[in-house]
Chain A
Amino acid sequence: MLAKRIIPCLDVDDGRVVKGVQFKGIQDAGDPVDLARRYNDQGADELTFLDIGASYKSRATLLDVVGRVAREVFIPLCVGGGIRTVEDMRDAMNAGADKVSVCTSALRNPGLIAEMARAYGSQCVVLSVDAKRCGADAAGRPVWHAFAKGGREDTGIDAVKWAVQAVELGAGEILLNSIDADGTGAGYDLELTRTVIEAVPVPVIASGGAGSLEQIARALMPPGPEGNSGGDADAALVASMLHFGRTTIAEIKTYAESKGVTVRW
């Protein structure tokens, strides 16, 4: 059985892990290499590093961190934040990343996804979608827009259609962040997760809103008969709950397993 993945996300700003609420109100959460080591020891299935610093120096610092982590942690590493060109991707891959995630740069230039997939293969290209609820369609179903620039800019693009288009261009995985839920601890936006999973034939990582073990397990569980219990995601991204020591990867996995989710030990 393929296991559902638990992926700690490290938002890194100038060499420190930070964590905000709904993309604002940043708090320091520690040293990225120390945290990466700790999560690996706890059984993390993968690690995601996002450079949220604006400067060139911040990115160079992050790539140095990734290189140090890659020498001692032998699980997949994903790097995102400010990757705008295939050359940026190459720098990240050479530093030790196994894949990169793109968000704003792909919204500006969708052809970048195809270029990256040609250079390294789809399995190395993760499309990060920052989605926010923006009203409803004629049938009353919610509509999500894809946001750019770390959740600050509404592109007006339908987030679900964008995910479909990106996969057609060559994205091999979708990292799906709910801006509404991010950092609130109120639970993942499972309706969003299920809608995207039904729309794309690639793995979807649910992100944003984890506040309890129950919510993480629910994101990974299949939908119930009434169609609204589990999120059916292939992986769950977790940040605050881990960084601030409220839980461990092993606790998350033990709980998810008790709910019938296949996890890796």
Chain B
Amino acid sequence: MEKMPRWADVALIPILNLIIAFALSALVILAIGEDPVAAVKMMVTGALGSTYGWGYTLYYTTNFIFTGLAVSIAFQAAMFNIGGEGQAAMGGLGVALVCLYIPFPHWALALVFAMAGGALFGAFWAAIPAYLQAKRGSHIVITTIMFNFIAASLLNYLLVNVLRPQGSMDPASARFPEPTRLPTFQDMFSTAENVMFRGTPANVTFFIALLACVGVYFLMWRSRLGYEIRAFGKNPAASIYAGISPFKLTMIAMLISGGLSGMMSINNTMGESERLIMNSVEGAGFIGIAVALMGRNHPFGVLLAAFLFGFLYQGGGELALWTKIPRELITVIQAFVIMFTGALDNMVRMPVERMFIRAAKRREG
């Protein structure tokens, strides 16, 4: 036995990581003179205690599912796509153009076209760094980071100079026409006497995100392309021996990754703000990296991790709103979670692994 059982890898270690992160967060909360137990209660009730809380939690979760899946696919091909932020922003542009300039009779049709528009623009934004990596060897981490800035500047320019309706002081596009409005959870689940998810942004995109998880699962573990992506990511030299083109694989993996990031914008741009605004992605692209790391690059893991971060976002927001705990501290808690589940994963993994191996050796005598 050379390694620990699978359940420890996929469940025990993430849970241990989380416990450490929360324990440290509790210490920080204690240090500023607040009550950590009350804070946890507040976060749980705020995020999951009402349909209102759920409406926000699931909205954030939807964003993180898309960006998490995007990062995970690039990871499987041994590429670190840090450009989710820019790809999602460009996806927003694609969605906005579709919604603003194509007249739709029904939201469902608009959704299909907006998905295509968002994915196309996101994929395009990933394609350039992918090409530079595959042909010129420019490191994808550097180029995707830089493309985040280019995307932000480009959108800035477009919103101020091109898409801003005449006379508006707000650097944002015009409101999308009514037929493109996606049904929110409130529309879908409320009854005449009982309004649920009141005023929350969670919308039908959540189900698209769930479908995307299933789709990515089949793509990566059931299709030939996924087989090639995983093979290429694990052993590029052997892949060339097998006749897999590194150029083609790099491009395809990054196009899918960028496309998924871009599709996030049907949630925030089409579903929530209903117009294209500045900085619409709000860091979801970066959270996607933590989500993919914590989710072990598996769609199901990504779903769970995205939900955890959705909870942290919404619960943290509530905490800032109702207690004296400052908003910055919420960022600290999120940072702890990212740090322990992502960057410092090996710190917990190594001793636990050694423990399992020792135990196995003892059993063998």
Chains A and B bind each other: no
Q: Which residues of A contact B (CB under 8 A)?
A: none
